[in-house]
Amino acid sequence: MKKQFNKNILVTGGAGFIGSHVLRLFVNKYPDYQIINLDKLTYAGNLENLKDIENKENYHFIKGDICNQDLLNEIFENHHINGVIHLAAESHVDRSIEDPSAFVETNVFGTISLLNTAKKYWPGNTKDNLFYHISTDEVYGALGKTDLFTEKTAYDPKSPYSASKASSDHFVRAYHNTYELPTVISNCSNNYGPNQFPEKLIPLIINNIRQKKLLPVYGKGENVRDWLYVEDHAKAIDLVFHKGKIGETYNIGGSNEWKNIDLVKLICRIMDKKLKRQSDESKQLITFVSDRPGHDLRYAIDASKIINELGWEPGLQFKKGIDKTINWYLNNQQWLDNVVNKSYLKYYDKMYGSR
Ligand code: NAD
Ligand code: TYD
């Protein structure tokens, strides 16, 4: 007999960086939930990230696009979906500057397709269903030297990526306001940790140090980001999903600001020790390159709402988190080589085709 689950949750983008950590947490912590992972497996999606849970009874993977309305209907219908945790997105600012349209397609149209499906299958039912949209602090724009983003900060996105995420946030709120769709949103600061694609700053620097390649620092390296360990974000997502108030927004952040240049130098120092290189050897690889156009100066989050109202706390101190992260990449060099070589994409094409 088919097992009855207490909840049927659709996680989108679960083969990506944050999604894979969210899936691992939910699949292991909630054996009574059925978790469906819908992922298009773009260059950023990697099933290797989910090897340890792929055979669990309560986990099911579907390769597909969140823009495919027929597929979404089929999934909601067949799996009686009553919760959505929506992470699927194009997520890299530099790529959004190269080609904004892919960001509009997935981040805006894809989100609207999902909202329409939830609206269709959950008519008037706000009690047992939840559409949880995962967003970024970048929707708030750039900060000066001292202030913080709160949930009340006005939206002021400045890159094509953040503009597409801001647009999707607005649609989620509009569906709540107009159709009473039960929604909740969280906006998080920069994540770091295992399984992040090495186009983002921290894994890119680790990968380049490992290969003794140049370390590109944009502009003067003065830009500031607030870094949060990915598992702490996953725990916050668990809390918001279960305890968050419908219609609300929660900011999530590490209270851990680093100037890019200081962060790059820290990673150099740690890796020189671990790789038994001369002290200051990797620092010589730092190269200041042309700045990112429209580069936001500083992001920093005031997370007091989720801390005070839902009891969340960022668990891992940065020094421990960065050490753990560097160890993970050094112990998983094959993972890095595979994603950089894109050999896994050929494998997906063979296994799943395109949908
Ligand atoms: P990622 O790029 O690592 O993963 C994105 C995943 O979405 C991939 O598995 C990809 O295959 C999938 N995907 C892309 N387009 C799709 C489509 N059309 N249909 C189905 N699947 C698709 O991203 P990430 O860093 O894990 O970010 C996840 C979410 O969290 C995003 O919504 C992002 O905006 C948000 N976020 C990220 C950060 C961060 O620091 N990485 C911070 C705050 C918020
Ligand atoms: P990134 O990891 O792309 O995240 P985001 O732009 O979403 O904050 O970049 C983090 C910071 O590092 C950002 O200020 C841009 C900078 N950066 C570099 O200096 N060099 C690089 O090669 C990359 C990828 C980013």
DSSP string, 157-225: --SHHHHHHHHHHHHHHHHHHHH---EEEEEE-EEESTT--TTSHHHHHHHHHHTT--EEEETTS--EE
**Lookup: tokens for 163:** 């503009």
- Mean pLDDT value across residues 300-320: 94
CA 197 to chain centre: 11
Given a contact cutoff of 8 angstroms between Cβ atoms, the answer to whether 87 and 45 are in contact is no
Q: Which ligand is nearest to the CA of 227?
A: 1
Q: Whose CA is nearest to atom 10 of ligand 2?
A: 201
Distance 57 CA to ligand 2 centre (A): 38
pLDDT at residue 124 in the model: 77
Of residues 107, 137, 120, the one with CA closest to residue 44: 107
Residue 180 pLDDT more than 80? yes
**Lookup: tokens for 147:** 């202030």
Percent of the chain with pLDDT over 90: 90
Q: Does residue 13 have its Cβ closer than 6 Å to ligand 1?
A: yes
* Cα angle 210-216-222, degrees, rounded to a multiple of 5: 120
Q: Which ligand is nearest to the CA of 260?
A: 2
pLDDT at residue 256 in the model: 95
pLDDT at residue 125 in the model: 66
Q: Which residues are catalytic?
A: 137-138, 161
Of residues 28, 26, 12, 50, the one with CA closest to residue 344: 50
Residue 33 pLDDT more than 90? yes
User: DSSP string of 250-264?
Assistant: EEE--S-EEEHHHHH
pLDDT at residue 354 in the model: 59
Using pLDDT thresholds of 50, 70 and 90, give the confidence band for residue 13.
very high
pLDDT tens for each residue of 68-119: 999 999 999 999 999 999 999 999 999 999 999 999 999 999 999 999 999 9
- Mean pLDDT value across residues 289-303: 96
Full-model pTM: 0.97
Number of Cβ within a 10 Å radius of residue 95: 17
User: What is the third-level CATH fold of 7-191+227-254+297-317?
Assistant: Rossmann fold (3.40.50)
Q: Does residue 19 have its Cβ closer than 6 Å to ligand 1?
A: yes
- Mean pLDDT value across residues 35-41: 98
Given a contact cutoff of 8 angstroms between Cβ atoms, the answer to whether 299 and 222 are in contact is no
Using pLDDT thresholds of 50, 70 and 90, give the confidence band for residue 57.
very high
Given a contact cutoff of 8 angstroms between Cβ atoms, the answer to whether 256 and 137 are in contact is no
Using pLDDT thresholds of 50, 70 and 90, give the confidence band for residue 145.
confident
Residues forming a β-bridge with 34: 8
| Domain locations along the chain | 7-191+227-254+297-317
pLDDT at residue 352 in the model: 79
Residue 198 pLDDT more than 60? yes
Q: Which residue matches tokens 């002021």?
A: 156
Mean predicted lDDT score pLDDT of the chain: 95
d(CA 48, CA 157): 33
d(CA 177, CA 111): 16
pLDDT at residue 1 in the model: 61
pLDDT at residue 349 in the model: 80
Q: Which residue matches tokens 């944009």?
A: 218
Distance 49 CA to ligand 2 centre (A): 22
Using pLDDT thresholds of 50, 70 and 90, give the confidence band for residue 3.
confident
pLDDT at residue 351 in the model: 77
